[in-house]
């Protein structure tokens, strides 16, 4: 990219809690677009929830801001109020307990997921997915909670989280509730989050012994590319047979899609190429892709079969 192609963005505050975004965009011959909003930086979750109830007009929560600022620039969003969650203590914790698994705050960055020894050891598919998201600079700012709440069908982190049985804690004016991430997504860009709720934490169960995981993605480029297809696999063995299987497909349905029939074909079987081929074919048939600018539905469907077979093979090789 040329130096003159970069978009310059500045945020100025001229009154308490009032901010103006100034964007200089060479595509508009250097003209400046100014948008005013009220900036809020609550210190606690209750304070943030109270702000969401009190403020009138369009509101946007943010932490990393990697998607939000682009959407403001492109006039996709015009928030009257921004609520910055970065100063809320306790939302960036990352801890592991062999009995209860991983607890991951919503503000943990994607880069931290990518580089965490804990994640590398116990949740390798999530680590692989984190590595696929954008550039290093984006991953240093983007948060796991933000990536999940965006609910993009092609998001890399969603299939591994669902395959690992992750749950999310939501907090709002009515208290806390805990939901399976598999049920959290209701459509492209849509989730179970109510207008007064904040996603505060993820819980991911500890993997049982003899478990392997894998995440594979296909895109038009090798880096900084949205998935045309993503496949996450979690596979557990007991006495040489499959005792637990999760296959979750990304970018081939409105939400992350569990290939339930493919999973059922694996259960109780001794893993081998023929069993994996049958499961891959079932996953292909269960997918519901669309045709868009990145790939045709038929191509995506075929890639589901290819990537599922490969991911199952890699997960088996990773069984500990």
| Structural domain span for residue 188 | 94-204
Question: Which residues of the chain register pLDDT less than 70?
Answer: 1-35, 320
* Interval 71-83: pLDDT, tens: 877 778 888 888 9
Q: What is the pLDDT of residue 71?
A: 80
Q: What is the pLDDT of residue 66?
A: 81
The DSSP secondary structure of 172-183, one letter per residue, reads ETTEEEEEEHHH
CB atoms within 10 A of CB 54: 9
**CA dist., res. 70 & res. 53, Å (int):** 26
Is 66 contained in some domain? yes
- Give yes or no for a contact between 215 and 308, defined as CB atoms under 8 angstroms apart: no
Is 89 contained in some domain? no
Same domain flag for 223 and 287: yes
- Give yes or no for a contact between 52 and 36, defined as CB atoms under 8 angstroms apart: no
Same domain flag for 197 and 98: yes
Instruction: Out of 184, 204, 224, pick the residue that ends a domain.
Output: 204
* Interval 49-93: pLDDT, tens: 999 999 888 888 989 888 887 787 777 888 888 899 999 999 999
Strand runs labelled E in the chain: 8-15, 18-24, 32-40, 59-62, 81-84, 94-97, 101-105, 167-172, 175-180, 185-187, 190-191, 198-204, 211-218, 229-238, 241-250, 257-258
Percent of residues in the chain assigned helix, strand, coil, to nearest 5: 35, 30, 35
Instruction: Out of 63, 84, 105, pick the residue that ends a domain.
Output: 84
Same domain flag for 176 and 225: no
The total of structural domains in the chain comes to 3
Q: What is the pLDDT of residue 288?
A: 97
């Amino acid at each position: 990219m040329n130096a003159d192609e970069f978009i310059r963005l500045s945020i100025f505050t001229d009154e308490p809690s009032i901010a103006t975004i100034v964007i200089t965009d060479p595509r508009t011959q250097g003209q400046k677009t100014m948008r005013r909003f009220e900036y809020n930086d609550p210190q606690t979750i209750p304070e943030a929830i109270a702000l969401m109830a009190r403020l009138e007009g369009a509101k946007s929560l943010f932490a990393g801001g990697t998607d939000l600022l682009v959407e403001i620039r492109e006039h996709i969003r015009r928030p009257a109020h921004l609520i910055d969650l970065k100063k809320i203590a306790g939302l960036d914790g990352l801890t592991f307990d062999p009995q209860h698994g991983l607890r991951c705050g919503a503000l943990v960055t994607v880069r931290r997921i990518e580089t965490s020894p804990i994640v590398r050891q116990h949740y390798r598919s999530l680590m692989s997915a984190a590595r696929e998201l954008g550039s290093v600079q984006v991953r240093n700012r983007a948060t796991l909670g933000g990536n999940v709440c965006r609910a993009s069908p092609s998001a890399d982190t969603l299939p591994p989280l669902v395959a690992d049985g992750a749950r999310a804690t939501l907090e709002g004016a009515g208290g806390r509730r805990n939901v399976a991430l598999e049920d959290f997504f209701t459509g492209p860009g849509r989730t179970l989050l109510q207008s007064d709720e904040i996603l505060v934490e993820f819980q991911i169960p500890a993997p049982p012994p003899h478990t392997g995981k894998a995440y594979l993605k296909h895109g038009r480029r090798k880096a900084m590319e949205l998935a045309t297809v993503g496949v996450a696999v979690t596979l557990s063995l007991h006495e040489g047979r499959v005792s637990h299987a999760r296959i979750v497909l990304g970018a081939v349905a409105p939400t992350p899609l569990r290939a339930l029939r493919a999973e059922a074909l694996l259960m109780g079987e001794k893993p081998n190429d023929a069993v994996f081929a049958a499961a891959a074919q079932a996953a292909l048939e269960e997918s519901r892709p669309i045709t868009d600018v990145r790939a045709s539905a038929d191509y995506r469907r075929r890639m589901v079969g290819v990537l599922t077979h490969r991911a199952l093979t890699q997960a088996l090789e990773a069984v500990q």
